Amino acid sequence: MLDRREFLGGTAGAGVAMSLPADMLANEIPSDLTELSASQLSAAIRQQHVTCVEVMQAYLDRIHRYNPVYNAIVSMAGDDVLLAQADLADQALNKDEYWGWMHGMPHAIKNLADAKGLETSSGSPIFAGTIATEDSLHVARIRSQGAIFIGKTNTPEFGLGSQSYNAVHGATGSAYNPKLTAGGSSGGAACGMATHMLPIAEGSDMMGSLRNPGAFNNVVGFRPTQGRVPSVPKSDLYYQQLSTNGPMGRNVEDTIRLFETMSGYDPRSPLSLRDRIPAFDAFRQQDLSGYRIGWMGDYDGYLATEPGVIQICESALQQVASSGAVVEECQPDYDMAQLWQTWLTLRHWDMSDFREFYDDPDMRKLLKPEAVWEFEGSVDMPASRVSKAGLDRAEWYRALLSLFESYDILALPTAQVFPFPKEIHWPKKINGKVMDTYHRWMEVVIGGTIAGLPVVNLPAGFDADGRPMGMQFVGRMGEDKMVLEFAMAYESVTDFLDRRPSMVEPD
């Protein structure tokens, strides 16, 4: 069988789902179809070297075998229903009806978004058993490309915290050690993909929720420029600009393909961007010769980090530098403690919608303590505090903009700790420094969120215990394509994505 790099290399620059010569692809189909990347799987289905039923059965077999250990996929549809849908996809191909690059591919939606006919519990007992009556916007776009929705991916309650546990579905383990957390809030998505129970995945990101689980599962997670992947909020359309949906992938090509599917203007989201992300074949790997990377590290000692995190990231940067990139340490001209206070204000304000649950004593009992704390932080918040946070947010953006005068891209770790036991809700200390909130240990991710910039998590390596770590690469506003083209170059000069997990069998 071809080396993964050689096989993927054959797909670059070609049209969607028609990436490889038919005879070459037919000879290289692995016996386990879940080994194919999403792009390869798309080509195999389109050229009818495999049937959608065969693909669905392969994924169902793997899910039934391993999901009891990892708990990545929840609220699944029945096998008979899914195989019947796969058969309809095959019938369509036989009639030359092609639905899109995800035609007949199994897909699971993060359990914070709606997929018609599937449960949306958001990990909360309040919504357990709630069946969605329509698709969220990005879900509809994925469905329009022919994906078959098999279920949902696990998430913490209401997406709060980077540890995917909840009272409805339990905790999700890391693909590299299911006793450790998969991160969150897109933990089920990242683990499901890394364990090859899913070919590709999507999620959402407010406080690193695409990036942190990407790091903890050694996959790609991309937070787009704010407004690039629109949603249709049920209430405010203008002020809350912290969260966004985005793609994840086993490799950069898959991530780009799903990103193009999810992105694009929608009039129901007035702040969504109107320029289009091109198809994958318009992307070109960045030339690393002379490419300038600004390494922000732990913000000059401001952030507490577990031993080994910085060293692993710097080792990965050395590999990039050996290919011609220029890596320099740099720091934003900004009070990082003030950035945290800005974050707390905006985050609490965003959680004011919890009032309907908080005011009902019976519902309040069902909320986890972190959700109660977030809401209580929003109570009686003066407008002057929100206004100041907005001004401080603007100054943070300007501080990063100043760094981009010297650097093409900025880098820092994706997490401050390695994956920790999933029985622990959140780390209480890092290197002896007390974490004063349930999300203080995730402070490293707030910079990209507050600025609204495109940020990609790329795997950076493993520690001596085999725990994965990732790095965030932050690009200029709106330059999502450039960030992903850098990711293509990074992938070509490192081999971290080649290291797959050793799967743990059920007892």
pLDDT at 25: 53
Q: Answer yes or no: is pLDDT of 27 > 60.
A: yes
Residue 220 domain-assigned?
A: yes
Catalytic residue check, 185: yes
Q: What is the mean pLDDT of residues 81-100?
A: 98
Mean pLDDT on 174-179: 98
pLDDT above 90: percentage of residues in the chain: 93
**Does residue 383 lie in a domain region?**
no
> Does residue 122 have an active-site annotation?
no
Residues 114-121, mean pLDDT to the nearest whole number? 98
Domain with 187, as residue range(s), is: 4-330+406-498
**Separation of alpha carbons 470 and 220, rounded Å:** 9
- The answer to whether residue 143 scores a pLDDT higher than 50 is yes
With H, G, I as helix, E, B as strand and everything else as coil, classify residue 210. Answer: coil
Has residue 166 been placed in a domain? Answer: yes
Mean pLDDT of 11-37: 63
Q: Does 194 map to a domain?
A: yes
pLDDT at 100 > cutoff 70: yes
For residue 93, what is the domain's CATH number?
Answer: 3.90.1300.10
Cα torsion at 486, 491, 493, 497 (round to 10°)?
A: 160
Average pLDDT, the chain: 94
* Structure confidence at residue 136 as a pLDDT band (50, 70, 90): very high
* Active-site residue, from 209, 243, 263, 378: 209
**Active-site residue, 235 included:** no
Q: Report CA Rg, the chain.
A: 21
Asked whether residue 27 is assigned to any structural domain, the reply reads yes
How many whole angstroms from its chain centre is CA 429?
A: 25
Give 284-297 pLDDT, tens digit per residue.
Answer: 999 999 999 999 99
Residue 60 belongs to a domain:
yes
Q: Is the pLDDT of residue 7 over 50?
A: no
Alpha-helical runs (H) found in 14-121: 22-27, 38-46, 52-70, 79-94
Please state, for a pLDDT cut of 70, what percent of the chain lies above it. Answer: 95
Residues paired with residue 421 on neighbouring β-strands, in sequence order: 180
Q: Which of 39, 42, 185, 204 is catalytic?
A: 185
Residue 26 pLDDT: 63
Q: Give me the catalytic one of 37, 75, 110, 204.
A: 110
Per-residue pLDDT at 234: 80
pLDDT digits (tens, 9 = 90+) for 334-382: 999 999 999 999 999 999 989 999 999 999 999 999 999 999 999 999 9
Confidence of residue 235 (pLDDT cuts 50, 70, 90): confident
What is the number of domains present in the chain? 1
Name all contacts of 434-437 with Cβ < 8 Å and 24+ positions apart. 437/344, 437/373
The answer to whether position 20 is within a domain reads yes
pLDDT tens for residues 373-409?
999 999 999 999 999 999 999 999 999 999 999 999 9
pLDDT for 373: 97
- Global pTM? 0.95
Q: Is residue 340 part of a domain?
A: no
Tens digit of each residue's pLDDT (9 = 90 or more) over 440-487: 999 999 999 999 999 999 999 999 999 999 999 999 999 999 999 999
